[in-house]
Each structure stands twice: as structure tokens, then as C-alpha cells.
């Protein structure tokens, strides 16, 4: 029996209840796919909005406002009869088919866990405490504020070493997030910051990208990796592959061979993991705390609990270590699971999931991008246009699409980003 006795009130259904935890790509698509079936659908998320995470880096780099890549869940769910509650999952009680949240307990007939992933600091407490991460809108705003604030502080530093410390930016992790962040910072340094800070010598600013593995964009082709590195270096980014960052104390970044770099702006983008859920057996977890699921997305040991997206670990012949933690996996799993739930209601056999890779893309800067697609590999302007179109079409909401298109057009014409605002919260006495 759960400890929390407060009830999360949802009208008792006349049919079976499906509870979906997580309003990301997979969770939201699944809820919308199930809305016309004869079930009561309850969607739970810690936020009241859906966030388009692939463009978070542009919020961090003053290119977009958070509202442009966020969409209210209640607006999406209008006229759907889907119940939404803003709550945080605390525990699952499989023996009584119940979950505990921070606002109460709720029973379920089927539970779908689509809780996504969080930043993986690999147990390094100092780096977790002192570096910046980018998994949420508040994280992106914090990065924007921190970097701009350090630029302001650099104006009052007397020595070249101190000035460089506050101007330097180090990004740890050479995946798509790290590559796109590094490119965005480099473009700011080239086009924007010299105009904003004419008193500063931008030669004192170093942009560094560290990757522990031998190459960037490990999930993409060798050609894409080499091209992305070339683009970044042309933009002035110091790319260091095969270099694992050892520690960071809020000023000194420690590297192998006793090397150290003074830097106040460190962004960690080196990996993700999933958070463990109280009540789920340890035997149900695999690598990086991902829930082990079968080809029907059922969590190992729990026939009426499913997991989709980043927090699930499903293996198939082409993916012996699990699928990549990207939006396409979550969306495809949500589509098949909705059909399988319908089959379960009709006592029909379930269909196994098979991931169809639709390709990968990463952008570095203006007219600079790489794309590995099923129909070919692209780079430069064509890849940049493809990346822009795909991301723009993936945004929820016509208004958001228009705002992003306007911001992108303004930036393209003026070489400027107009959102360099330091918005600080002042605590009340």
C-alpha cells in the first residue's frame, strides 16, 4: 500500500484507465493517438508545456525565447477528453496498480512511463555542481544569463588572464548538442559580441569543445564527423577529441596530463541517463538506468507497465545496445504502442517494434550543417536547409512556427540575435 493517502482526483472511469507519465515527444503523441479509443486517458507531467528540446541551444544562445519552443499541454489537449495533471511521479506500486505523485495517488489499468532522460555526470560531483547543463528551458535561460553576466564582469577585470577566464567558453560533449552549441557560440563571437562589447578584445576569448571519444557526432557517419569538425575549426572553435575532462571547480577545468584551463563558462553536454523510479525492481533496469522492455515496450516483469522513448531499453538485431535516445524512437514507439493497446482490447496478437532510422542531422552555423539521411549524405547549404525545414515543421503550433521563422529570418538578414537580455530573479525579503 502506498504511503501517500491523498487522492489525485480524476473522475472514476466507466472503462479502463491508461496513465501516461511524461508529456514529451512520445508521451504526448501516445495520448493523442489513444484519445479516440474506449479508455480514460490521464497524462501527467511536471510541467504544463511540451518542450521542443532540439532547439534549446538557441534559447541558451539568445536566438529564441523559451515560449517559441514550448507549447501549453492543455491547449494541445483541448477537445480531447484527456485528463491532464501537473505532477511529479514519486513511486509506482505495481502490486496494487497505483502511482504516487507529489499531489496524490492514482490507480491505473495500464501505465506508460515516458519520463525521458536527464544529464549524466558520470558520478563527478564537482562537475555536476559547478558546470551548466541544458535539459530544460530554465537550464537554457541560466546558460544565457550566466554567459552574458560573465561578459559584463569581464569589463571590470584588470589582467588579460582574468578577462579571458570570464570570456572563455568550454563545452564538454561532442554529440549534436555540443556541436550545435559550439557553433552558435562561435557565431555570436564572430557577428554579435564585438558590436556589443567594443572595449573587449575578442582574441582573448576561446571556445573549446571537448569529446572523450576519438571523434565528434559518434552516432553519425565518419564523413559527417570530419565535416563538422572542419566547420567548427573554421569558425574558430578549438576541437579536442580523445580528451576526457577530469574535474571543474568553477574556475579551473582539469584535463589529462596535468593540463588545466581557466574558464568560467562550462557547459556539460556529455551524456544522458534515466532516473530510477521507486517501486520498479532493480532487475528491470539496464544500461544508464533505462527500463528494459520487450519488443512490445512492456517493462520486464510488469505486463501492464510500458516504457517508451529515452527511458526505455529495447534491443533488436541492428541495435544490440538499445536504440538511440532521439525523438524519432519515442514517436515510432508511441505509434505502435497505441495500435498494440487497441489490439489488446480486441484480444489480438501484438506487433513487435522495429525502428526505422529516418536519419540524423546537426547544424554548425550559417550554411553549415551535416545530414545522414536514408537517401544520401549531405553537407553545407543543402544540409542546413534540410535541418531548418525539418525542425521548423516539427514545432507544435502555427504561432510558434511563425515566431521561429521570423527570428531566424531576422538573424539571417542582420547577423544579429535580439534576445540578449539578462533577466534575473530577485528574492523577496
Q: Is the pLDDT assigned to residue 1 strictly greater than 50? A: no
Query: How many secondary structure helices (H) and strands (E) does the chain include?
Result: 12, 24
**What pLDDT, on a 0 to 100 scale, did the predictor assign at position 4?**
56
Break the chain into its structural domains and give their ranges: 17-117+274-345, 125-272
Please check whether residue 39 is in contact with residue 15, taking contact to mean a CB–CB distance below 8 angstroms.
yes
**What pLDDT, on a 0 to 100 scale, did the predictor assign at position 422?**
78
CATH topology of domain 125-272: FAD/NAD(P)-binding domain (3.50.50)
Please check whether residue 146 is in contact with residue 183, taking contact to mean a CB–CB distance below 8 angstroms.
no
Residue 396 per-residue DSSP state:
S
Annotated active-site residue 14? The verdict is: no
**How many whole angstroms separate alpha carbon 364 and alpha carbon 316?**
32
Catalytic residue, chosen from 98, 180, 187, 211, is 180
**What pLDDT, on a 0 to 100 scale, did the predictor assign at position 428?**
60
Pick the closest to residue 180 from 216, 221, 126 (CA basis): 216
Q: ∠ at Cα 290 (358, 360), nearest 5°?
A: 20
Average pLDDT over residues 266-276: 93
Q: Is the pLDDT assigned to residue 410 strictly greater than 60? A: yes
Instruction: Supply the DSSP string of 104-139, one letter for each residue.
Output: EEEE-SEEEE----EE--TT-HHHHHHSB--SSHHH
Pick the closest to residue 113 from 353, 323, 270, 305 (CA basis): 305
Q: What are phi and psi for residue 380, nearest 5 degrees?
A: 70, -140
Could you tell me how many residues make up the chain?
429
**How many whole angstroms separate alpha carbon 137 and alpha carbon 151?**
21
Please state which of the four CATH numbers 3.50.50.60, 3.40.50.300, 3.30.565.10, 1.10.340.30 is assigned to the domain occupying 17-117+274-345: 3.50.50.60
pLDDT tens readout for residues 131-162: 999 999 999 999 999 999 999 999 999 899 99
Q: What is the pTM for the complete model shown?
A: 0.92
**What pLDDT, on a 0 to 100 scale, did the predictor assign at position 36?**
87
Q: Is the pLDDT assigned to residue 419 strictly greater than 80? A: no
Residue 352 per-residue DSSP state:
P
Average pLDDT over residues 333-352: 94
Tell me the pLDDT band of 416, cut-offs 50, 70 and 90.
confident
Q: Is the pLDDT assigned to residue 331 strictly greater than 80? A: yes
Fold match between domain 17-117+274-345 and domain 125-272:
yes
Average pLDDT score over the chain: 93
Q: ∠ at Cα 135 (204, 277), nearest 5°?
A: 145
Sign, Cα dihedral of 186, 146, 192, 385: positive
**How many whole angstroms separate alpha carbon 249 and alpha carbon 19?**
42
Amino acid at each position: 500500500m502506498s504511503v501517500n493517502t491523498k487522492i489525485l482526483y480524476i473522475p472514476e472511469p466507466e472503462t479502463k484507465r491508461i496513465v501516461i507519465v511524461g508529456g514529451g515527444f512520445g508521451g504526448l503523441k501516445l495520448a493523442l493517438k489513444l484519445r479516440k479509443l474506449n479508455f480514460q486517458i490521464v497524462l501527467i507531467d511536471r510541467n504544463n508545456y511540451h518542450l521542443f528540446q532540439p532547439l534549446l541551444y538557441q534559447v541558451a544562445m539568445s536566438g529564441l525565447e523559451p515560449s517559441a519552443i514550448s507549447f501549453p499541454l492543455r491547449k494541445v489537449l483541448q477537445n480531447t477528453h484527456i485528463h491532464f495533471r501537473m505532477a511529479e511521479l514519486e513511486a509506482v506500486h505495481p502490486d496494487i496498480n497505483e502511482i504516487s505523485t507529489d499531489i496524490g495517488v492514482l490507480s491505473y489499468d495500464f501505465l506508460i512511463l515516458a519520463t525521458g532522460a536527464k544529464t549524466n555526470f558520470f558520478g563527478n560531483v564537482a562537475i555536476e555542481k559547478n558546470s551548466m547543463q541544458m535539459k530544460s528551458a530554465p537550464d537554457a535561460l541560466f546558460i544565457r544569463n550566466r554567459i552574458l553576466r560573465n561578459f559584463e564582469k569581464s569589463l571590470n577585470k584588470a589582467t588579460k588572464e582574468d578577462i579571458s577566464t570570464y570570456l572563455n567558453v568550454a563545452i564538454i560533449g561532442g554529440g549534436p548538442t555540443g556541436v550545435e552549441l559550439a557553433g552558435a557560440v562561435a557565431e555570436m563571437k564572430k557577428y554579435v559580441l564585438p558590436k556589443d562589447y567594443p572595449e573587449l578584445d575578442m582574441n582573448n576569448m576561446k571556445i573549446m569543445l571537448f569529446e572523450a571519444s576519438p571523434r565528434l557526432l559518434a552516432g553519425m557517419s565518419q564523413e559527417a564527423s570530419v565535416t563538422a569538425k572542419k566547420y567548427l575549426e573554421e569558425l574558430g572553435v578549438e576541437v579536442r577529441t580523445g580528451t576526457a575532462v577530469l574535474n571543474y571547480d568553477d574556475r579551473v577545468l582539469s584535463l589529462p596530463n596535468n593540463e588545466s584551463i581557466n574558464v568560467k563558462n562550462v557547459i556539460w553536454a556529455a551524456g544522458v541517463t534515466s532516473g530510477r523510479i521507486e517501486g520498479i525492481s532493480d532487475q528491470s533496469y539496464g544500461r544508464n538506468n533505462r527500463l528494459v522492455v520487450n519488443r512490445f515496450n512492456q517493462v520486464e516483469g510488469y505486463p501492464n507497465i510500458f516504457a517508451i522513448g529515452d527511458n526505455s531499453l529495447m534491443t533488436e538485431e541492428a541495435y544490440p545496445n538499445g536504440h538511440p535516445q532521439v525523438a524519432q524512437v519515442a514517436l515510432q514507439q508511441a505509434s505502435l504502442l497505441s495500435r498494440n493497446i487497441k489490439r489488446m482490447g480486441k484480444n489480438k496478437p501484438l506487433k513487435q517494434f522495429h525502428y526505422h532510422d529516418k536519419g540524423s542531422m546537426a547544424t554548425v552555423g550559417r550554411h553549415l550543417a551535416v545530414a545522414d539521411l536514408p537517401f544520401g549524405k549531405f553537407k553545407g547549404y543543402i544540409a542546413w536547409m534540410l535541418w531548418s525545414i525539418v525542425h521548423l515543421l516539427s514545432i507544435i503550433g502555427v504561432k510558434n512556427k511563425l515566431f521561429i521563422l521570423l527570428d531566424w529570418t531576422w538573424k539571417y538578414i542582420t547577423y544579429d540575435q535580439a534576445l540578449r537580455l539578462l533577466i534575473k530573479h530577485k528574492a523577496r525579503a
